[in-house]
Amino acid sequence: MYVAGVAWGLIMIDARPAARLGLALLWPLGPLAFVLTITILLVASLVAYPAVGAGVLIAAGVAWWAFGT
């Protein structure tokens, strides 16, 4: 899959060779950036919405108690 993306980036992108190479080599960082963004938004929601944060803390405590034994 990675090789196909690199080949597509090298052949089909209308850019200078250095930009083609850079985009072809860096395209897998997109999914990682998506996961990181969603994680940051979820953590921020724990602070922005205290009821959500309290629910997560309670659920984590119950899970720790239930599965920790």
**Residue 5 burial by Cβ neighbours in a 10 Å radius (0-12, 13-18, 19+):** middle
State mean pLDDT over 9-29.
81
- The predicted model gives 5-20 an average pLDDT of 79
**pLDDT (tens digit, 9 = 90+) per residue, 43-52?**
898 889 999 8
- Host H or E run for residue 51: helix 50-67
Residue 37's domain spans which residues?
Answer: 2-67
Query: What pLDDT does residue 31 have?
Result: 86
Q: What letter represents residue 58's amino acid? A: I
pTM metric for this prediction: 0.51
How many structural domains is the chain composed of?
1
Q: What's the pLDDT tens digit per position in 20-43?
A: 888 777 877 888 899 999 999 988
What is the reported pLDDT for 69? Answer: 63
